[in-house]
Amino acid sequence: MLSDILPALRGLMAENETMPRLRKTEPVGGEPVISIPDNCPDLIAALRAQLSARTQRVTLKGMGTYAAENAPVSGRVAGKVAVVTGAAQGFGFEIADDLARQGAWVALADINAEGVRAAADKINAACGREAAIGVVVNVTEIDSLKQAFAQIVETFGGIDLLVANAGVLRAGSVKTISVKDIDFVTAVNYKGYFLSVQAAAPIMALQHQAAPDTWFDIIQINSKSGLTGSNKNGAYAGSKFGGIGLTQSFAMELVEDNIKVNSICPGNFYGGPLWSDPEKGLFRQYLDSGKVPGAKTFEDVKRFYEAKVPMRRGCTTPDVMKAVYYLMEQKYETGQAVPVTGGQVMLS
C-alpha cells in the first residue's frame, strides 16, 4: 500500500509542476498523522482531506514519517526521480551518472546485484551526495520489477522518468542462430521493455491524478537497428523494431496520464561492453559470425562500421543525453523514435 500512497502524496505536495522527493525520517511532533483505510475507494481524496496547505512532513499511521525534500542541486533534471534499467555498466551507467550530475535522484536497476550497487556508490562519490541507489531487477519478470519499483518508491517517493535501457544482443544468421538466443534477446529487449512500462506507468498515473499539470517521461534506448534491418542480426533488429511499435502504442494510451513515451535510436557505442567485451561483445560476435567480410581483428570490424557513418565515428553518451533532455523538455512530442546515428540512418 505504501507504494501507492507515496506517489499520490508526492503529487499532492507538488509546486509549480515540480514534485519533491519523499524521504523517510523521524517524527518531530506537530506533523499531521494520516490514516488510510483498507480498500480506500479514492486514495487521493482521502489524503487531500487530511493534509493542510503546504504540508511538508507527514506521518502515515503504521508506515512511518516522510518529509518532502527539494532538489539539492541545480541542473536540467533537478529534483526528478529517474530509473535507468541495465545501469550497472556501459550506456546505462553513463546515462544514470549524467542524470545525477544534472540534479536528479537516480535508481540504477540491473540484474547484476554487486555491479549495480557499486555503480550507485560510484555516482554518489562523484556527486558528493546521496543521489543514487542500486536495485536488483530482472526485467523479464514482472514480480521482480514490481518489487524493485516498490523499493524505489519507498526511497524517493515516486518516479518521473523511466529510461528503459536494458538490452542484449546475440548476432547470428537466421539459418543457424539458436532458439535459445532468439528467446533471450526477445525476452530482454521486447518483453523487458513492455514489463518495465507496465510496472512504472501506474506509479506515474497516481502522481498525475494528484498533480494534473505535471508530465512524466518514458524513454526507451532502442537502436539504429530498430529503424533499418541488420544483416545476420535479425533477432536483435526484430526485437528493436518491436520496441518502436510498443513506444508508439504506449504513447497513444498513456498520454491520458500525462506520460510521454519515446525511443532514442543510437548508432554504434564502441566504448561500452556491448561492443568491446573481449568474449561476448559485438566485435567478437561479428568477427566470429563472418558478418564483416574479410575482417581479421576487432579493429577491422570497427573501421568497417565507422566507414558507414557520415560523421566517421561511433555514438557517445553525450550524444544520447542531448536527445534524452530534448525529449523531456519538449512537451509536444510523444511516440517518436529519434535517431542519434551520425547520419548512418536517415529518416524518410
* pLDDT tens readout for residues 125-136: 999 999 999 999
Whether 53 shows a pLDDT value over 80: the answer reads: no
Per-residue pLDDT band at 83 (split at 50, 70, 90): very high
Whether residue 132 contacts residue 100, with contact meaning beta carbons closer than 8 Å, is answered with yes
Least confident of 140-144, 155-159, 305-309: 305-309
Whether 319 shows a pLDDT value over 90: the answer reads: yes
Per-residue pLDDT band at 171 (split at 50, 70, 90): confident
Of the listed 236, 270, 286, 305, which one is catalytic? 236
Q: How large is the average pLDDT for residues 283-310?
A: 88
Q: How large is the average pLDDT for residues 272-295?
A: 85
DSSP 225: G
Q: In this prediction, what percent of the chain has a pLDDT beyond 70?
A: 100
- Of 319, 344, 342, which is closest to residue 98 (Cα–Cα)? 319
3-state helix, strand, coil in the chain (%, to 5): 45, 15, 40
Report the pLDDT value the prediction gives residue 95, as an integer from 0 to 100: 98
Q: How large is the average pLDDT for residues 8-28?
A: 91
Phi, psi for residue 230 in degrees, rounded to 5: -135, 120
Q: How large is the average pLDDT for residues 169-196?
A: 96
Whether 157 shows a pLDDT value over 90: the answer reads: yes
Q: At which residue does the C-alpha cell 508530465 appear?
A: 215
Report the pLDDT value the prediction gives residue 66, as an integer from 0 to 100: 94
Per-residue pLDDT band at 28 (split at 50, 70, 90): confident
The grid coordinates of residue 271 equal 566504448
Report the pLDDT value the prediction gives residue 290, as an integer from 0 to 100: 85
Active site includes 236?
yes
Whether 274 shows a pLDDT value over 80: the answer reads: no
| pLDDT tens digits for range 242-264 | 999 999 999 999 999 999 999 99
Whether residue 206 contacts residue 256, with contact meaning beta carbons closer than 8 Å, is answered with no
User: Average per-residue pLDDT in the chain?
Assistant: 94
- Of 76, 17, 14, which is closest to residue 215 (Cα–Cα)? 17
Task: Report the alpha-carbon distance of residue 297 to residue 305 in Å, rounded.
Answer: 13
Max mean pLDDT range (35-44, 268-277, 333-342): 333-342
Q: How large is the average pLDDT for residues 333-343?
A: 97
Per-residue pLDDT band at 266 (split at 50, 70, 90): very high
Q: Tell me the pTM.
A: 0.94
The grid coordinates of residue 31 equal 506533523
